[in-house]
Amino acid sequence: MNRLSKYLLIALVLLLSLPVQADRRGREYREHRDDDRDYSISREEAARIARERNGGRILDIKPRRDGYRVKTLRKGRVRVYDIDGHSGEVRD
C-alpha cells in the first residue's frame, strides 16, 4: 500500500468517527444540563396544573431553563402553557 492510500484510509476512518463523538458529547451535555435543574415542582405537577387550566389531554412536556412548557389538546385546539418550575405559576 502506498503512502497516499494510507493517508486516505486514515482520513476516512477519522471522518467516519466524528458524528459518533459529536453525538456522544451532545448526549452527555443534555443529561448533565437536565440534572442541574432544581425545580420545586415535578413534570407530573406541571402536567396537572396545565390540565386543571385546560381540561385537555397532555401532548408534551419539555423542561425549560426556568420551568416547563406543557402542550395540551382539547376540542382540536393545541394550547401551550409555560409553567414556572419553582412557584407553579402559569405564565401566559
Q: Which domain holds residue 14?
A: 1-36
pTM above the 0.75 mark? no
Q: Same domain, yes or no, for 51 and 83?
A: yes
Residues 57 and 29 in one domain: no
The per-residue pLDDT for 6 is 85
Answer whether residue 26 shows pLDDT above 70. Answer: no
Stronger pLDDT, 91 or 38, i.e. the higher one: 91
d(CA 34, CA 26): 12
- 31 and 52 co-located in one domain: no
